[in-house]
Structure 1
Amino acid sequence: MSPLIRWAHRLDALAAGSGRLLGWFTLIMVLLQSAVVLLRYGFNGGSVALQDAVVYLHGAAFMLGLAYALQCDAHVRVDVFYRKMGERAQAWVNAAGTLVFLLPLCTFILVGSWQFAAASWAVHEGSASAGGLPGVFLLKSLIPLAAATLALQGVAQFARALGRLMQVDEPATPARTRRDTAPTAIEEVSA
């Protein structure tokens, strides 16, 4: 295995690990939202902190799930033509799409959100609601972090596409058909 592909597998493992963690975030988010509903309609009460926790977990799942979605090929793709293409043509589309669209977009988001997150960190921004959770600055930090993890996964996707394009086409060995092989003992008995 080439070093390029090994490196891509390491980045894939990072995205897969974050995806498993985000699965737990989603479960906790569902349980907290259920608690909010139960408090509101069952006990005629509520908790702003619980509602903020649901929003924070939803933001974390969405922002950090971008790289995992790309790794699993679960992102939105207009594949009217893509699915009919051969493996090499798909690799060209993936490589070009990563270089032309994905990585520049990640750079734009990273640069654009850095100052936004830094300003929030400077004042340790908290919830605007009374009784809400502190730590909005942590939530805003997920924007540049999401851009960075998505860019890393894009690099892994580019590396896989490049590896596929650099493969030397090996002559295909003809598949053995049923007529080429001798019948097994079970086939002889059943005949």
Structure 2
Amino acid sequence: MSPLLGCARGLDRLATGTGRLLGWFTLAMVLLQSAVVLLRYAFNGGSVALQDSVVYLHGAAFMLGLAYALQTDAHVRVDVFYRRMGKRARAWVDAVGTLVLLLPLCAFIVGGSWQFAAASWAVLESSSSAGGLPGVFLLKSLIPLSAFTLALAGIAQFCRALARLMASESDTAPTPTPRKTPADTAEEAGA
């Protein structure tokens, strides 16, 4: 196994673990939303904290699910040309797209959201609704964290693409023909 694929597999394990955790977040979100509906319509009551928790879980599932979606190729892709390309061309598109588009976008999001999250942490921002959950600063921290995890998944994608390109380069490289020795020539003549 090449070091590139080892790096990609390590980063993929992180994205897969995050995806499994987010599956549980989604289940909790469905159960909490069902409780909110039940409280409202069956008991004529409600809880702002329960509603906020659904929003927090939805935000966490969406933001932290970006890396998992990239790793499992579950993201939205308009692949008019990509699906018709060969493996080598796809590897080039993945490598260049990651370096030119994905990683700079992730850096931009981290840079642009860092102060936003830091300002929220400075005041330990909480819900503006009476009875809402504290910890809005945690929710806002998911923005740079999601860009960071997406960048890690992008690095894994780049490593896989680079390994495919290097493997296909060695596959397509001309193999030198072995030189025939006088013994080989005599053996062929006698056969």
CA distance in 1, matches of 2:92, 2:161: 7
Aligned pairs, number: 171
Matches of residues 142-161 of structure 1 in structure 2 within 5 Å? 142-161=142-161
SS of 2:113's partner is: helix
Q: Structure 1: where are the runs of 5+ without partners? A: 172-191
Q: 1:57 deviation in Å?
A: 0.1
SS of 2:60's partner is: helix
Q: 1:169 deviation in Å?
A: 1.0
Deviations 1:34-82 (A, max 9, x none): 0000001111110000000000000000000000000000111111111
SS of 1:149's partner is: helix
**Letter paired with 1:97:** G
Structure ID, larger Rg: 2
Runs of 4+ in 1 over 2 A off after TM superposition: none
2:106 matched residue in structure 1: 106
Is 1:63 the counterpart of 2:69? The answer is: no
Is 1:5 the counterpart of 2:5? The answer is: yes
**Cα RMSD (Å):** 0.9
Matches of residues 1-191 of structure 1 in structure 2 within 5 Å? 1-167=1-167, 168-169=170-171
CA distance in 1, matches of 2:99, 2:77: 16
Q: TM-score, normalised by structure 1?
A: 0.88
SS of 2:74's partner is: coil
SS of 1:169's partner is: helix
CA distance in 2, matches of 1:91, 1:4: 14
Q: Structure 2: where are the runs of 5+ without partners? A: 174-191
Q: 1:170 deviation in Å?
A: 6.3
**Letter paired with 1:117:** A
- Percent identity between matched residues is 80
CA distance in 2, matches of 1:2, 1:9: 11
2:177 matched residue in structure 1: none
**Letter paired with 1:69:** A
Q: 1:26 deviation in Å?
A: 0.1
**Letter paired with 1:119:** A
Q: TM-score, normalised by structure 2?
A: 0.88
CA distance in 1, matches of 2:131, 2:7: 45
